[in-house]
Amino acid sequence: MAHLTLKGNPIESIGTLPAKGSEAPFFCLVKTDLSEAGPADFAGKRLVLNIFPSLDTPVCASSVRRFNHDASSLDNTVVLCISADLPFAHKRFCETEGLNNVISLSVFRSPEFGQEYGVTITTGPLKGLLSRAIVIIDADGIVRYTQQITEIVDEPDYSAALKVLA
């Protein structure tokens, strides 16, 4: 389990992020049109999994905006923004913000995603949501970078993540 904090207060997640160099765990998540998407839908692409608790928080919204901006310049790369928010909330947020360089995905049908990736929060007021993390998967499905953000209200290290994709 990962030991995290929410504004300095201890919380925990169900596990740890997949190991660098390991095969990325399978996932099947829900897109904004209620269809499902998994690794086969992005075959041959590098994936940035931007995982976060909810679009309804400023830091989560900021990370989606930032990756939307930076994604337009990345070759052969897809940014997946993943949370427990319903697909309707993802769609509304992206349409309102004019975000079209990311793919928003919901785990509402797939609680196993949080378990497989070790990001389901198990204690505290955000219990049941996903922790803030970045996982980069190469075109062959191998995990190349991970960052578990230990203080939930902090933003990820965008520079380090993007450097892996340079």
CB atoms within 10 A of CB 144: 17
Question: What are the structure tokens assigned to 110, written together?
Answer: 């797939």
Catalytic residue among 28, 60, 81, 94: 60
Helix (H) or strand (E) holding 95: helix 87-97
Q: Is 81 part of the annotated catalytic residue set?
A: no
What is the rounded distance in angstroms from the CA atom of residue 36 to the CA atom of residue 147?
Answer: 26
Closest C-alpha among 19, 6, 21 to residue 118: 19
Closest C-alpha among 121, 127, 166 to residue 15: 121
Tell me the catalytic residues. 60
